[in-house]
Each structure stands twice: as C-alpha cells, then as structure tokens.
A and B are shown apart, each in its own frame.
Chain A
Amino acid sequence: MKEMVINKGDMAGLLTELAGEMTVIAPAKKGDNLLFEPISDGSKAVLDSANTRLSPKGVLFPQCEQMMTFTTDRKQARLVAAENAGIMQDVKPLDQGQVIWGIRPCDTAGFLILDKVFNQGGAEYEDAYYLRRREKTAIVGLGCNKPLSTCFCTSFDNGGPFATNGLDVLLTEVGDKYVVTVLTDKGEALLKGKNGLSEADSASIDQAGQIKDAALKLVYSSIKADKIKGKTTMELFDDPCWDTLYETCMACGVCTYSCPTCHCFDIQDEMIDTEGVRMRNWDSCMFSLFTAHATGHNPRPTKKERFKQRFMHKFKYFQEKFDRIACVGCGRCIQLCPVNIDVRQVVKEMNR
C-alpha cells in the first residue's frame, strides 16, 4: 500500500492527463443531475458533492447495450437472399481501458455483488458483456467524509464510508488535498508518473485516519438482518408483514432503476429493414410484464408479489445463493421513492 497526496487544484489536470490515455468516468453534471459520465476535461469532475443520482452500475452494465448484430432475409415478408442471414454476430468489446473515478465505497460494493451474478462459474455462465468491460476497468474510490441520513453502508457485510474492498485506489479528502491510497497493482500502474502526485506526509495520513473514524460515527442508521438467514424461505414468504408493506408502492420502478445491485434485464431484437441488433435493456421486477407468460398466466400476478420479490431477492434469496446480502446501503431508493418506502423499515419487519 502506497500513500500519496494531490492538491485539489491539481486534480483536474491529472484527470485530463488520464483522459488522454483511457476513458475517464467520473461524477459530472448532466442537466440537473449528478451522474457518472465520461469526461475529457478533468475540471468537469464533481468530487465534493453527495453521491450521484443513479448508481454507476451502468458503466459495466449499461441501461441499453448491443449484444449482437444480424441480417435477416425477410424483407417486407418476402424472402431475399442475404449472406449470413439469421446468424448472430457478437459485438466488438471495448478496445480502450477505462477508469471509474470518484466512486463511493457503497457503489463499489455494488460491483462486487454484480461480479457474483455475472460470473457464476463455468464458461457457460460467464456474462461476456459485463466481464469484458470489468477487466478493462480500474476503480478509484472516494471515501465519504459526510455520510447522509439515508446512508447505512455499515450494515450487512458492507464496510462503511471508507471501505477499500474492490478498489484499486482510495481518495480521502483532507482539507485542500486528497490523500491517495494505492491499493493494487492496477492502481499503481494507473497513477504511475502522473503529474500532481507526491509522497504523502505523515500529518496528512494521520488526518485522513481521523476523518475516517469521524465518518464512521456519522453513519447512524444500522440495520440488522441477522435473523433472516435463520428463517426458511417459506416462513419469510408467508410472513404477514407483506400484507401491508406493499400497499403504498406505485410500482414505478425507481428503486430498481437507481439501485447499484439490481441487475434484471430484458433481451429484445430491434430492426431497421433487414438489419437488426439484439439489445439488452434494464428491466424491473416491479413491472407486471416482467414475469407474464405468453399464455397470459402470471406467477407474480399482483403488486404484492412483485414488491415482495424485490426484498426477498436482496435479503433472502441472494444470501442463500451467494452468502451475502445484495444491498450496499447507498440509500438511493429511500431518497427517490415517491411514496417514502424505506428499505430499512422493510428489513426491520423481515428481521423480526
């Protein structure tokens, strides 16, 4: 582990320099929202604000992406000869490396959860689209000096506002500079010889330690889910708490849309004339068509079953499959829910 410092004033220059070598993705203003966006001008990076509106999961798992391309020989219902008609061609993977700069530790934990989903062992279960991007991506985290009232990143298996799991580099804001902690070889290679970095003085390192300790105390929401593991699936599934919890939900899907660990998707073919693409798009378990069979039968017919699915998946099913809870405590769903459904309250009910 190597500690360096950079003055805040030099950060934009460093990012601009990096952007000449690879795609730099950092929190940046897009309209009214702060989102993870590719930047070429380092001064566009916003590192002094609360977390982004949406999680950065889209960097590795885009909301819409091309999976393959094809040509068909059906043109206005007539058959015309076409080479390779009906045969799917894989899209070209990223050829350039990328870095996600300024990601919060909770969102990094989100990627660690997605890693489990998109790589379940064995070539037949490796999600090529996610994994090809993943291996080309370096992750530079930014610790949270001031967690919000909706943050609960110390709950479950998450490490809190300065967790380093999954990071190549951690930035800690200390006065007018950042302490830059290099955690991996990938991080070392990323920053090697970059302008503006110098070796950290012990005063800055001490200060960073104090800030970290202070931040931990600011995360005052602590959610217990310890009893969930001991309950059977059917015990939790049949729990009467579901009879009322779902009632205010409008099934808008903003919780799944903004969540760093929600990963449900749809696959759709789109065509112009005889040229087509097979697309992957985010989907949501909150929507009724998500599970509807072609016959009209729907195994999750009402909002109650769909609401229950989201929480059961994150806090019970995922735990059974992957031995951890699929929630990182970022608090976005609490902030954005139009009817004030609070995941912390739901988990409290499940954990009774």
Chain B
Amino acid sequence: MNNPYIPKPVRIEEIITETEDRNLKTFKLAFLNKEDEQAFRYTPGQFAELSIAGKGEIPIGIASSPTEKGHLLFTVNKVGVVTTQLHNMSVGEVMGVRGPLGKPYPIDKLEGKNVVIVSGGFAFTTLRSTIAYMLENRERFGNITVIYGARTPGMLLYKDQLKEWQDRDDIDMHVTVDKKAEGWTGKVGFVPAVTKEVAPSADNTYVLVCGPPIMIKFTQPVLTELGFTPETIIMSLENRMKCGIGVCGRCNVGPNYVCKDGPVFTLAELNEMPKEY
C-alpha cells in the first residue's frame, strides 16, 4: 500500500537569501530519485510538506513552476522550530518533500482570460510559480498585470526575476515599496493604493490576491469598485497543518480543509465560510 506520509528524499542544491533582514531564504531542492521527481507533478498554487528529520514538517507553497524542470523552489520565512532548522542547513544536506498537496490555482479557468496578480510581502511565492508558468505558456493567457509590494526594496523577493519580467513587454509589472528609499526609482505606496492607480479592467479578468491580511482587507474594496465579482477574486489561505491530506483535523475552515479543499478559494467561497484563518 502507498503511504502518503513518507517524504521523498531531496538534496539542498542552493540556498538564496532573499531579503535584507535575512529572514527569508529560497531553497532549491532536487530529488535523490528520478522516479520521485517524475511522480511529483504539480500545478502553481499547490504546496508541499517539507520534512526535516528530528524536527518535523512544515507546509510551504511551491515557488517554482512546473515548467522549471529538475528542481523545486521553496521560499521559507524563519519563524518556528522547523523553519529555523531549515535556515541553519547547508547545501548538500538531505531532507524530505511530501506532496504536491492541495488544490492549485484554477489555471484552466484563467486560460484565455486576462490575469491580474496582487501580492504583498512573502506571500508572493506561489504567485511567482504562476507568473513563471504563464510566461512559459504565454499564448494561452490574455494580459498579465502584476502588482507586488514590500515594505522596502530590500524586502522584495526574487529581485533578479522581477527585473527580468519588468524588461519584458508581454507582462505589465508594478513593483512598489511602502516608503521612499534611497536608490529606489520604482513606485512608492501601499498595494491597495497602487491597485487603485493601476486600475486593471475587470472585464474578462481573474485576479489572484495573496498577501498579509491587512493588505487583503484594503485591497478587496478596491477590486470590488473596479468591478471584480467574488467569483473572479481568487485567494489562498494558510492555517496550521500536520497531515496535509484532510485527516488530522486542525486546518479546517468550516467544512473545508485548507490542505485538501484549499488552499486556493474564490472570494465567493470564502464568503460562505467562517473567518477561522
């Protein structure tokens, strides 16, 4: 019998310190066994349990795109026991990955539509995956607009990639920081305000929103004003998890398990659910 709890062994290939506070690192992981790599078929928006022997597991969104072969990327904030251990690990060490888990962004629904991405801080990870995937399959999507903000320029994730995307003419990038900063020539302002200023059309468009609760709270009315309906606003939740497969009972929001029925929900779905997240 298959045992979904057993993590597949991976080796840390590269560790990138993303932010100036050194609290966010991206881990590039490669499977030790070819068959595990082939079996790990994912779609942007899904997550995996990262396992460190002796410390435990953590659910982390997959930041790489399935179009990027040969490795997985996970951007991890140092906050608890497992993430702290992970931040102390070195290239070459072996750990585990269990997944892919959860319901992805509805890529099939996004096809043929314009896509707006609104994100803040380190919630950008699975959206990085989504953007990379869409750019690799560019002809399948309409206009792509990205609004991404961080407190300071040094707190932005994936800085090289952002530059690369800003240089392309098939994606409309709006990268912003909360306050003026030395050397920063881009936008200044909070994500909701920038969203209002950019004012993407809601016509034939889906918007993916992922960020801190405060950002979401103030962005939602802006999107509504722009004409986005609850069915076209797509969000991603996080809750404490253990099993990742809808059994252990702690991540549920109403009848839905964030791990199995989510983490991706439309605002229409969230409106029918208690605010236990």
Contact = CB atoms under 8 A, between A and B. Distances in A.
Contact residue range for chain A?
Answer: 35 or more
Contacts of B274: 233-234, 237
A234 B53 contact: no
B21 interface: no
Contacts of B5: 67-68, 127-129, 267
A126 B1 contact: yes
B239 A291 contact: yes
A321 B255 contact: yes
A118 interface: yes
Contacts of B275: 299
A264 interface: yes
Contacts of A313: 249, 252
B54 A117 contact: no
B53 A72 contact: yes
Given A88-B7, A285-B249, A317-B255, A265 B242 contact: yes
Contacts of A90: 3, 6
Interface stretch (B91-99, B163-171, B195-203): B91-99
B1 A131 contact: yes
B240 A74 contact: no
Interface in A157-191: none
Contacts of B255: 233, 316-318, 320-321
Given A295-B79, A320-B255, A265 B3 contact: no
A63 to B, nearest CB: 14
Contacts of B108: none
Interface stretch (A31-39, A43-51, A207-215, A268-276): A268-276
Interface string B199-217: 0000000000000000000
Contacts of A276: 53-54
B248 interface: yes
Contacts of A321: 255
A291 B239 CA distance: 7
Contact residue range for chain B?
Answer: 35 or more
A264 B249 contact: yes
Interface in A271-324: 271, 276, 278, 283, 285, 290-295, 299-300, 305, 309, 312-313, 316-318, 320-321
B51 A88 contact: yes
B4 A126 contact: yes
A85 B1 contact: no
Given A123-B2, A276-B53, A317-B254, A234 B272 contact: yes
B214 to A, nearest CB: 12
Contacts of B251: 291
Given A86-B94, A292-B240, A316-B255, A267 B57 contact: yes
A87 interface: yes
B21 to A, nearest CB: 15
A120 interface: yes
Interface string A127-139: 1110110000000
Given A68-B5, A72-B53, A74-B54, A263 B243 contact: no
Interface string A241-274: 0000000000000000000000111111101000
B1 to A, nearest CB: 5
A93 to B, nearest CB: 8
A331 B276 CA distance: 29
B249 A86 contact: no
B140 interface: no
B127 to A, nearest CB: 20
Contact of B54 (A70, A237, A263, A292): A70
Interface in A200-248: 232-234, 237
Nearest to A320: B255
Given A72-B54, A86-B96, A88-B53, A294 B3 contact: no
B230 interface: no
Interface in B1-15: 1-7, 9
B272 A68 contact: no
B248 A283 contact: yes
Nearest to B92: A79
A234 B3 CA distance: 36
* Residue of B55, B240, B275 with most chain A CB atoms under a 10 A cut-off: B240
A241 B4 CA distance: 40
Interface string B172-192: 000000000000000000000
Give me the 8 closest cross-chain CB pairs, A-B, nearest first.
Answer: A294-B80, A264-B249, A128-B3, A317-B255, A86-B94, A123-B2, A320-B255, A299-B276
7 contacts: A86-B93, A120-B247, A124-B2, A125-B260, A233-B254, A293-B239, A318-B255
